[in-house]
A and B are shown apart, each in its own frame.
Chain A
Amino acid sequence: MSDTQNLTLVQAVRDGLHTELRADDDVVVMGQDVGKNGGVFRATEGLHEEFGGDRVVDTPLAESAIVGCAVGMAAMGMRPVPEIQFSGFMYPGYDQIVSHMARFRARSRGRFTLPMTLRAPYGGGIRAPEHHSESKEAFYAHEAGLKVVIPSTPYDTKGLLAASIRDPDPVIFLEPKLIYRAFREEVPEEPYTVPIGEATTRRAGDDVAVFTYGAMTRPTLEAAEALAEDGIECEVLDLRTISPLDREAIVDAFERTGRAAVVHEAPRTAGLAAEITAILQEEALLYQEAPIERITGFDVPYPLYALEDYYLPSATRIEEGIREAAEFEP
């Protein structure tokens, strides 16, 4: 049994970067304020001091060049880990992400692969200014050639980050900043990986399968406990990777329950819940006993924070949505 540290999720990000920087000279962390300042959320604290300015690089304020230069570095076999300070600021780098980061391997018929991991804090609930609370993961899940990883616990964060950095393909690594410091967990000091593309069961139950990820995992579990008091037992699956989806785990949970709800804070239309619903009707239609509930953000621009608690799925909204799925009678 190795030694562990009791870490928050953001400390696990930092620990994961630290571990990989130490293990592989080709790993370079780059972005705005990631160096001397240690990151606006402290995700890179102390790394500049330990590894120096060539490996933990404060860059100019330019998202497209941060991503685009990382593409060039990765094509040469380095493992850059660029950070975009908030996912709401990824759009100036979006062309680089979709036109090059996602396609470089395919375009070069496998000659070049891009072992790069683009990190960004995402999601709402922290009373932030405009453009600091978006959940646009579906953009990236839609883009062939990318993998999209979203952890929800400190342990998974360190392991998934290591797996992403070591992966030969480009990964978008979205960190749920609402729960950066929400709770602590024992995290091994030694390096380890959590596999990309595998969901995990956070709660076992036979009545309704509930699929979620990121910061929505905790209110979903809270809702599940409330429903248990009424005799409704939820199976809560934390997807952890939204591209590629763990279709097997999703279909398996649905086949055992026949009822499902999907929870995400991103807007509903063309979101992950739509994709999961489509997978279930393709692969398990005859198991279906009720309409699949989508408990999501609304199809509106993310509000300023006086209204964000109405926008974000709360434990109560999640509970009521799951109850619909559980109690539906044909």
Chain B
Amino acid sequence: MNVFDRAYDDPVRVLDEDGTVVGDVPDLDEDALVGIYRDMRLARHFDGRAVSLQRQGRMGTYPPLSGQEGAQIGSATALAEDDWIVPSYREHGAAFVHGLPPEKTLLYWMGHGDGARAPDDVNVFPIAVPIASHVPHAVGGAWASKLRGEDDVFVCYFGDGATSEGDFHEACNFAGVFDTPTLLFCNNNQWAISVPRERQTRSATLAGKAEAYGFDGVQVDGMDPLAVYAVTAAALEKARNPPESRLRPTLIEAVQYRFGAHTTADDPTVYRDDDEVERWRRKDPIPRLERYLRAEGILDDDRVDAIEAEVETRVADAIEAAESAPRPEPRALFEHAYAELPTELEAQHAELTALREERGDAAFLGE
């Protein structure tokens, strides 16, 4: 059966909560399987450290991703290098898989603009904060790819709340009408800050919204990385080589849970109870995949320890790199507003520079 022909409320699954195989295991070699495990561990460890940095006053507001590693790593692992990620603001894990250095993410949340600039060979768009407003960009980018006869697929990540926004609807509609190679990846983590999934829509599933746009929608257990990988790989293949009867775009609803707060400025205990969190924690994607890989003889204690050490070093290095980045020069305020600095901005920069020279940085920074 084609993976897209199932009922909208019948999620694709590969491993159950205990790591037992309940579906078709995707054809991945050992390195790839261990890679998914390692990248989930990286994202989880990064997340914990990032929350601590914020608590210690070493970083600004930060949106945690714990619980959502299966969806992020499983999907990003399926991408080709030339495919594009168009993220919202919580998909650090997916971006790391696609080549974004973790210190970039830290820098961004530490308030440095350079954090939003991925290296030139990393196909990741800058973070988009206004909900769903980036979904049209992914459709436009994919449209350009199609018009130019290129092979690149654009994967756009957004949450359950985003599906209530007009931009989500408009973008899906354009994706269908112009049959763009776009993968609309909904991280349904059950909560849009304090508003539960049921309050977003009376639609039984989010995947089912695809029906209205004429393309496929599919639900997947978003805390089952192998299922997410499988469904993403199928959607990418369809975007590149659609069979006659199907359109290129796919709406994937990855059902999952955010273990932590919406951001470090949020207190989720106000709107959801601990029992609910505990129920979802039993679906944690990391121990689930670990149990499977151990049962298959792919992972053992030594290998897990080595991965843990590797991940800790990588995050520690990223923190050191981000924290040792100097405060950007004030010129950076002006230099990228336009391709060429307009005369008036040159004058405003000169005004700032003159006052800095006269009164020193203390006049601005209160140091």
Question: Which residues of chain A have a CB within 8 Å of any CB of chain B?
Answer: 28, 54, 57, 59-60, 62, 64-65, 67-78, 80, 92, 95-96, 99-100, 104-113, 144-145, 147, 167-169, 197, 244-245, 247-248
Tell me the B149-186 residues at the A interface (CB within 8 Å): 154, 166-167, 170-171, 173-174, 177-178
Measured between beta carbons, the chain A residues less than 8 angstroms from B342 are: 197, 244
Complex Cα–Cα for A248 and B344 (A): 10
- Whether B337 pairs with A144 at a CB distance below 8 angstroms is yes
Measured between beta carbons, the chain B residues less than 8 angstroms from A107 are: 113, 116, 126
- Whether A68 pairs with B140 at a CB distance below 8 angstroms is yes
Most chain B CB atoms below 10 A, which of A69, A71, A113: A69
B118 proximal to A (CB < 8 A): yes
Number of interface residues of B (CB under 8 A): 44
Given contacts A111-B120, A244-B343, contact A69 B136 (CB under 8 A): yes
- Whether A168 pairs with B339 at a CB distance below 8 angstroms is yes
Given contacts A69-B136, A71-B136, A108-B117, contact A247 B174 (CB under 8 A): no
Measured between beta carbons, the chain A residues less than 8 angstroms from B116 are: 107-109
Complex Cα–Cα for A244 and B147 (A): 33
Complex Cα–Cα for A71 and B126 (A): 13
Measured between beta carbons, the chain B residues less than 8 angstroms from A167 are: 339
B338 proximal to A (CB < 8 A): yes
Measured between beta carbons, the chain A residues less than 8 angstroms from B140 are: 68-76, 80
- State which of A68, A73, A74, A106 has its C-beta within 8 Å of the C-beta of B113: A106
Complex Cα–Cα for A180 and B138 (A): 35
- Whether A68 pairs with B117 at a CB distance below 8 angstroms is no
Minimum distance in angstroms from B11 CB to a CB of chain A: 29
Minimum distance in angstroms from B156 CB to a CB of chain A: 10
Complex Cα–Cα for A245 and B342 (A): 10
- Whether B173 pairs with A68 at a CB distance below 8 angstroms is no
- Whether B343 pairs with A247 at a CB distance below 8 angstroms is yes
Minimum distance in angstroms from A14 CB to a CB of chain B: 22
Given contacts A76-B144, A92-B166, A244-B343, contact A69 B139 (CB under 8 A): yes
- State which of A65, A76, A244 has its C-beta within 8 Å of the C-beta of B136: A65
B281 proximal to A (CB < 8 A): no
- State which of A59, A70, A109, A113 has its C-beta within 8 Å of the C-beta of B339: A113
Tell me the B123-156 residues at the A interface (CB within 8 Å): 125-126, 128, 130, 133-145, 147-148, 154
Complex Cα–Cα for A71 and B174 (A): 14
Measured between beta carbons, the chain A residues less than 8 angstroms from B343 are: 244, 247-248
What are 19 A-B contacts with C-beta separation under 8 Å?
A: A28-B147, A59-B174, A62-B170, A67-B136, A68-B139, A72-B144, A73-B140, A73-B143, A92-B166, A95-B167, A105-B339, A106-B337, A107-B116, A107-B126, A109-B114, A109-B117, A145-B337, A247-B343, A248-B343
Given contacts A62-B173, A72-B143, A247-B343, contact A104 B133 (CB under 8 A): no
Measured between beta carbons, the chain B residues less than 8 angstroms from A244 are: 342-344
Complex Cα–Cα for A70 and B125 (A): 15
B327 proximal to A (CB < 8 A): no
Measured between beta carbons, the chain A residues less than 8 angstroms from B86 are: 72
B115 to A, closest residue via Cβ: A109
Given contacts A65-B167, A105-B338, contact A247 B344 (CB under 8 A): yes
Minimum distance in angstroms from B182 CB to a CB of chain A: 10
